[in-house]
Amino acid sequence: MSVFVTGTDTGVGKTAFTAWLLERLREEGLRGAGYKPICCGDRHDAELLLAASAPGLTISEINPIWLQTPAAPLTAALQEKRTIDLPALRDGFVRLRNDFDFVVVEGVGGWIVPITTDYFSSDLAADLQLPVIIVAHNRLGCLNHILLTARSIETAGLKCAGIVLNNLGESGDLASATNADILRRCLPIPVLENFDLQSTTIPQPLREMLR
């Protein structure tokens, strides 16, 4: 039971969702680990995943590569004159997968964010061969971003397990009220709308994504 969590953009709630999912699965008696292969800027995302994961892990196991420039990994690596160790990203996941019941991998930014000039976040998900959950900000314009991401996931030969629509505390308009229904009409996959960080149970649509 391992999944790759991607977003339609940065700042759409991937980390909050990933940490929440880790906590709920732990409450059900599973030993889980969050995995943030690359952090750019501060390390706050990795710290949240560490706190939500089973005890005994270190921040470096959760996040093997930390670039301190707040930019895309390729940009940050060029600024810091560093080479990103791609095998380390894959090896870090394998170690966690061997030691835990499940691993939730949080990608960096969106689906096609460049890690190197010829290796993208999507390539990492493909190397790990994980089903992918898309997290999106439920707002006007997100349908295009979600459908493009879902199609790209399928083109990569991966399973798009489902979509999580995060309202980020905003009041609804016509688009946010109808996006979930439109997505269900366009894609034969589960859609979780009105995701609530305060919920203490895993909604059925999300359980379907984790099968």
C-beta of residue 165 within 8 angstroms of C-beta of residue 192: yes
Q: Give catalytic residue positions.
A: 36
CA distance 138 to 176: 5
SS3 65: strand
CA dist 72 and 40 (Å) reads 7
Task: List the one residue out of 144, 153, 110 whose CA is nearest residue 12.
Answer: 110
β-pair type (102-110, 114-116): unpaired
- Residue 181's alpha-carbon distances to 101, 153, 191, 195, in angstroms, are 33, 21, 9, 15
Phi, psi at 25, each rounded to 5°:
-70, -35
Q: What whole-number distance in Å separates Cα of residue 87 and Cα of residue 172?
A: 43
For 50-58, the CB contacts below 8 A with 24+ separation are 51/19, 52/18, 52/19, 52/20, 52/22, 52/23, 52/26, 53/22, 54/26, 54/100, 57/33
